Amino acid sequence: MDFTLSDEQKTLQETVRKFAQTELVDIARQVEQTATPVGHDVLKRFAEMGLLGVNLPEALGGVGLGHFEAVLVLEEIAKISPAVAFPVFESCFGPVLAIAHFAPEILKQRIVPKVCSGEMVIAISMSEPEAGTALTDLTTTARLQGDSYILQGQKRWCSGGGHADAYLVYTRMSDAPGARGIGAVLVENGADGLSFGKNEVHMGLRGVASADMFFDNCIIPKGNMVVDSGGFRKLMEAFDLERCGNTTMSLAIAQSAFDYVLDYTRTRKQFGKAVVEFQAVQLKLAEMAMQLEASRLLLYRAVTGAAAGLPSVADSSIAKCYANEMVRTVTEQALQLMGGYGYSTEYPIEQKLRDGIAWGIAGGTIDIQKVNIAAALVGRRFNQRG
């Protein structure tokens, strides 16, 4: 595969980079200090720049480019702040992809264009108190009564919980056991019977809202069904692309940390010379650069192999797993190279370390990705309950 960027892709990358560096730095600082998600004014600006739904079809309000271009866009914004980039992540790699691929046409046409125009943010609602990695153990139910679904249950670790405009809720829609009974519905904010728990305070990703969700006879229209019972495999296929977005976030954080510390080692002096002149520092920088390049190539392979469709679970899991481990290593090494300055909140590296750790938990843990990889190698799923 040739991953050399075309002239059009280079122009896109440079345009987004300039926009991010000139318009988003102050916003990112405010988001980090206040732990408040970006508002709809920022979303509108993203929409004006064509940064929402980059890889969604023009017929649904998207830009009509490929996953590769979406990766280029997301990386440049996430270098500034993954929290500021989160709406772009959600619009290109999040639950809207499941809606665009699998929802009934009337629901697609009602929802997806609003995401692309910055009018709506959609979050995913999967995990429960007793069903995180063991997702097929979820107990939230959606029962059809007349022209409505009635939801009962609780969701946990919903990124965007209490802030998003709608939620793609994984739920049990029939009595069939395990994955066969699971589908998904779209729950819009303000639905009767929907409530939220307290705002969670996390180690990193300040500015990405998170809260428990409670469904107490929550009523949603029948037309908000995205995937019916038995469609769990479809939902997971769409989630394979989310892993590529997760990978991009990890890569962006690590790349921006590396760029910062590379400049630091050129200007910081010890023993009368720049610290980059010391061989130990050179070795660290070389190791970091190699890991970044390897991660980028794995990501590009996954999204290029997917073309306009969805990537394989093997390619997306390998890319995500490597990037999740890489970002922790690179940001920790960057902090170590900066010493006390790296540990200070006056400088960006400690935040990048905190934010980087999150992506190895979100979207399926590092160890779960390794299980996925092993399953792909042997050609079958493993029974973790046996």
User: What does the DSSP 8-state code read for residue 4?
Assistant: P
Spatial contact of 314 and 376, defined as CB atoms under 8 Å apart: yes
Residue 303 burial (CB < 10 Å; 0-12/13-18/19+)? buried
Q: How far is CA 241 from CA 82, 114, 265, 276, in A?
A: 17, 21, 36, 38
Helix axes 67-80, 82-93, angle to 10 degrees: 160
- Residue-wise pLDDT tens digits, 176-211: 999 999 999 999 999 999 999 999 999 999 999 999
Domains along the chain?
7-116 (1.10.540.10), 122-230 (2.40.110.10), 233-378 (1.20.140.10)
Rounded to 5 degrees, φ, ψ at 360 are -85, -5
- CA separation, residue 349 to residues 80, 89, 120, 207, 260 (Å): 12, 22, 32, 17, 8
For residue 350, report the phi and psi dihedrals to the nearest 5 degrees.
-65, -35
**pLDDT per position as a tens digit, 316-360:** 999 999 999 999 999 999 999 999 999 999 999 999 999 999 999
- pLDDT over 70 for what percent of the chain? 98
Q: What is the CA radius of gyration of the chain?
A: 21
Q: Nearest-CA neighbor of 241 among 8, 70, 64?
A: 70
Sign (positive or negative) of CA dihedral 114, 39, 254, 252: positive
Instruction: Give the 3-state secondary structure of 320-346.
Output: HHHHHHHHHHHHHHHHHHHCHHHHCCC
- Alpha-carbon distance 311 to 320, whole Å? 12
Gap between the Cα atoms of 226 and 100, Å rounded? 9
Q: pLDDT tens for residues 137-151?
A: 999 999 999 999 999
Q: At 277, list the tokens.
A: 């002149």
Kindly report the pTM of this predicted structure. 0.95
Question: What pLDDT score was predicted for residue 190?
Answer: 94
Q: State which amino acid sits at residue 211.
A: A
pLDDT digits (tens, 9 = 90+) for 222-241: 999 999 999 988 898 888 88
Per-residue pLDDT band for 308 (boundaries 50, 70, 90) equals low
User: What's at 274, amino acid-wise?
Assistant: A
Angle at 307 between CA 302 and CA 310, to 5 degrees: 65
DSSP code per residue over 17-64: HHHHHHHSHHHHHHHHHHT----HHHHHHHHHTT-SSTTS-GGGTS--
